[in-house]
Amino acid sequence: MKARALFLIIVLIIVGCGAPSAAVPPTATPPAAPSATPLSEEAALLATMAANAPSPAEATPTVPLPTLFPTITLGPTAEPRPLPAGWWDTAVCYEIFVRSFYDSDGDGIGDINGLIAKLDYINDGDPTGGSDLGANCIWLMPVAEAATYHGYDVIDYNAIEKDYGTNDDFKRLVAEANRRGIRVIVDLVLNHTSSAHPWFISALNDPASPYRDWYIWSPVDPGYRGPWGQQVWHRSPARNEYYYGVFVAEMPDLNYRNPEVVAEAEKIAAFWLNEMGVDGFRLDAIKHIVENGSEQEGTRETHAWMRSFEAAIERIRPGAFTVGEVFGGRAGSLAAYYPDQLDTYFEFGVAEGILRSANTGAPGPYLTAVEAALNRLPYQRWAPFLTNHDQERVMTVLGGDGGKARVAAIALLTSPGLPFVYYGEEIGMSGAKPDERIRTPMQWTGEPGAGFTTGSPWQAPQSDFPTVNVAVQDTDPDSLLNVYRILIRLHTTRPALGKGDFTALNATGGAAAFLRRSGDDAALVVINFSASPLSGVTLSTAQSSLDPGAYTPELLFGSGNLSPLIVGANGSISAYALPEIPPQRAVIVGLGR
């Protein structure tokens, strides 16, 4: 009886305790909003995603948290600096989605050999002119082997996407581009990999994997969401745990608190610079590189990592060029990314200012955005554009208005900075979301397949391709394509327009007017954003960088008769009169002594 009673007591104790269920992982209480107070050494050490570990009252994790690597060292910043002189001074970069540019083999997918076949359209190597755009830099959206069509979920950093060709094809592309004076930069996607990457598959399935701490894990759902309200903690399909991915579950973030991951990123950069021969990188999603719990963009550790990565690139290939994507970045928010991090960043504020002025006809938004960038950012170390592969195409934003598209191009290509042009923008291609429809095949001709392929295109061209294409615009001197050709060539051949200073002028009548000067080369730009002609425009300023004296105007773009420009003391100009400026056009004038 005593034995039976003891047995019943033991059973009751076991039932009363109850083992925790493993069916659903516990959810932690959402953390408080990040404090603006600088992190202490201890807080920084613990500021990984695993900082939201369960309390003792919760179930014991079945999978251990990753090793807490020390925080990235926050070294001193350098003084603001201009870039050393280089090819970027007077460059125009042309953004290309290889899948949609030109198909060389009829399978409906653009490829490296197709891009090689169309290099003369971008730049034929003859600086005196011709039918090429004259762009001297191309930015290729991701070309490494990836899981999906867009390439931003890499599965092999050291191999060209099979749909596009081979590593040898790519090396030939670089050689052919360089022979024409075209620099090649590629999209480098380092924030995350594909969930199909061998590293992640190993880490997912084996807690003892050498790649386990290359990613960010938690035994519970920490409960907070991402910067735009998205889900960032994703349930593992392998066990009761979660992993972090700021974009989607199929793109798990890498853990840059792990020195092994930092070293691997530098090896990847070295491969592309030394083995593949590229001239630099566009770095994707750069503000998300290192997280501090629920602080998920622009952290101090992110800036520290970027300083070390930029220094590594300079050691690997001195003079290699870097441009960063800080989505939505403008003068105020971009200021933290200088002076000793990447070379330049896309300036979304200037892009928005140009489009707002083009849409409204008022010069204010454009001039305000440019002045803000000039006042807040190191000179020439920012990259203006109109739209890119993540946004509705500029012609769609401008309501299909060819005049607005023309004046937007004028503003872009006469502004300071390194301008980027999205493929097809120069012919007025349209495109609205979803993403596949803003990345449609290049419209070369009005023939079936838009001259992009002899097969069935991976994505149908826009419906207007029979009338909006390169062949139709090629011989029309007033076409958007030929406006781009003229403006790109002016930007790349006139130092004043490529790298000159910027002095806004007082203009009557609603024009945007400014002077640019580099050494002995000077230019005057007057833009009419409105849909009406501007008559009686006069220009004035109390000071500029021009030396006193009389300047002979050379009409570079536009029409009309111009009088000599008289410049007084301190570069002053008084009531300089201009001829009528037609709607949504400009006058660009070279100034000689």
Displacement of CA 196 from its chain's centroid (Å): 25
Question: Please, is 545 exposed, middle or buried when counting C-beta atoms within 10 Å of its C-beta (0-12, 13-18, 19+)?
Answer: middle
Q: Could you confirm whether 426 is annotated as catalytic? A: no
Catalytic (active site) residue 325: yes
Sign of CA dihedral 394, 397, 400, 403: negative
SS3 letters for 135-178? CCEEEECCCEEECCCCCCCEEEEEEECCCCCCHHHHHHHHHHHH
CB burial readout 55-92, b (16+ within 10 A) else e: eeeeeebebebbeebebbeeeeeeeeeebeeeebbbbb
- Catalytic residue, candidates 95, 132, 187, 284: 284
Ramachandran angles phi, psi of 118, nearest 5°: -105, 10
Cβ partners under 8 Å of residue 367, min gap 6: 353, 504, 512, 514
Parallel/antiparallel/unpaired status of strands 521-527 and 538-541: unpaired
Q: Which of 325, 343, 347, 426 is catalytic?
A: 325
The count of C-alpha atoms lying within 13 angstroms of the C-alpha of 238, restricted to the half-sphere facing its C-beta, is 15
Retrieve residue 563's tokens.
Answer: 């009088």
Residue 419 token pair:
């301008």
List of residues 6+ apart from 67 with CB closer than 8 A: 213, 258
CA 297, 298, 303, 309 torsion-angle sign: positive
Which residue matches tokens 């596949």? 436
Instruction: Report helix, strand or coil for 554.
Output: strand
The answer to whether residues 383 and 347 touch, using CB atoms and an 8 Å cutoff, is yes
Cβ of 266: how many Cβ atoms within 10 Å?
17
- Residue in 324, 42, 69 with CA at minimum distance from that of residue 214: 69
Of the candidates 353, 350, 357, 463, the residue with the CA atom closest to the CA atom of residue 403:
357
Using DSSP, state whether 365 is helix, strand or coil. Answer: helix
Structural contact between residues 30 and 201, judged by C-beta atoms closer than 8 angstroms: no
Q: What angle do CA 493, 90, 568 make, to 5 degrees?
A: 75
Give catalytic residue positions. 284, 325
